[in-house]
Homo-oligomer: A and B are copies of this chain.
Amino acid sequence: MIRVAVLGCGRIGRMHAANIAAHPRAALSMVHDVHAPAADAVAAEHGVPTGSADDAFGPGIDAVLVATATETHADFIERAVAAGTPILCEKPIDLDPARVARCAEAIAGASVPVQIGFNRRFDPGHRAARDALRAGEIGDLQQVVITSRDPAMPPRVYYAAAGGLMRDMTIHDFDLARFMLGAEPVEIFAVAGRRTDPALMAELNDHDSAMVVMRTADGVQCHINNARCAVYGYDQRVELLGDAGMLVSGNRKPHEMRRYTAAQSEAAAPYEFFFVERYAEAFRAQLDAFFDSIETGAAVQAGFEDGHCALLLAEAAYRSLREGRMVRVEEVTQ
């Protein structure tokens, strides 16, 4: 059994703790949160002790899952690598590319598994699409279209720490695009808007919707569209066009019941509300893959470099927003 410490007992930390507790190859061994009552609640639910962050890198712990505030991520990654403790860390690594670059230097050459929480790579539908693409089912890839919309605006308090729409939300899509493309986007163009709550977004200098176009060196095109508030539910779709066909990974409904009335036919329930429900299987598969890497030494499937690249795409997107032009990604990496 892999003994895992969970750092951070907010919404996503609680979910990870429950998944670890129920996992046949792992044991939830310790939880921690800077807000003690949050840790206490999760500890009580699973009958495990709370501990300090230091404890997570001490004896009796084989791996650490980090779901703390973003500004602590890079520190924990460096600490885990130094301690030789495999780490699964929520995204983003940091909002500041310079800090991420320093972290990259600090951990360079280490062989301890460092996995970043890009859960969408592990979604069964997205994964099946990518596998079919790689297997040649649709020939050469030509276009990728990612639709990614949250079901509701986050509360006001959320935005400051989030770092802006591109670093908080689109970053998942940047990673998913890279996962599908199998190649680096070299150019990016972005627009972003304030349609759902223009006053709040203007005040915070943030955005609630965006459209992005990227291109690889080989000319494959990729579009991402984002919105903070899709009232019909968490909308997560990926479409891959190749010269021999198309693959589409669509939304999961909570069940397959459909209504037929005089007003409509085939009406389904709204989509799964948000990421905990929609990506429940993905979060479990993400853990599985992490444990596989620990046990077999296989490379992690979403690593530090992936987190770094996604953040650079966000940086380039912001430059495109400011300058109204296609930006080469290398402009922000130099």
Cβ of A263 within 8 Å of any chain B Cβ, yes or no, is: yes
Q: Please, how many residues of chain A have a CB less than 8 angstroms from a CB on the other chain?
A: 78
Known: A247-B257, A262-B270, A265-B268. A221 touches B196 (CB 8 A): no
Q: Of B189, B195, B252, which is within 8 A of A220 by CB?
A: B195
| A246 adjacent to B232 (CB under 8 Å) | yes
**Which B residue's beta carbon lies closest to that of A219?**
B193
* B221 with A193: CB separation less than 8 A: yes
**Per-position binary interface string of chain A over residues 204-215, scored 1 when its CB falls under 8 Å from any chain B CB and 0 otherwise:** 000001110101
Contact A128 B225 (CB under 8 A): no
Query: A227 vs B256: C-alpha distance in the bound complex, in angstroms?
Result: 22
Q: What is the interface of chain A mostly: helix, strand, loop, or mixed?
A: mixed
Q: Which of A72-80, A90-98, A136-144, A299-307 participates in binding chain B? A: A136-144
* Contact across chains for A255 and B195 when beta carbons are under 8 A apart: no
**A18–B25 CA distance with the chains assembled, in angstroms:** 13
Q: Given A195-B219, A211-B143, A266-B266, verify A245-B259 contact (CB < 8 Å).
A: yes
Each complex incorporates copies of this chain amounting to: 4
Q: Is the CB–CB distance between A259 and B247 below 8 Å?
A: yes
Q: Does A147 contact B (CB under 8 A)?
A: yes
- Contact of A223 with B221 in the complex, beta carbons under 8 Å: no
Give every chain B residue within 8 A of A253 (Cβ-Cβ): 265
Given contacts A18-B24, A142-B209, A249-B256, 4 further A-B contacts (CB under 8 A): A129-B257, A209-B221, A232-B264, A246-B260
Can you sample 14 A-B contacts with CB below 8 Å?
A132-B257, A137-B261, A193-B221, A194-B219, A196-B243, A231-B261, A231-B262, A232-B245, A246-B259, A247-B257, A247-B258, A250-B258, A252-B255, A265-B269
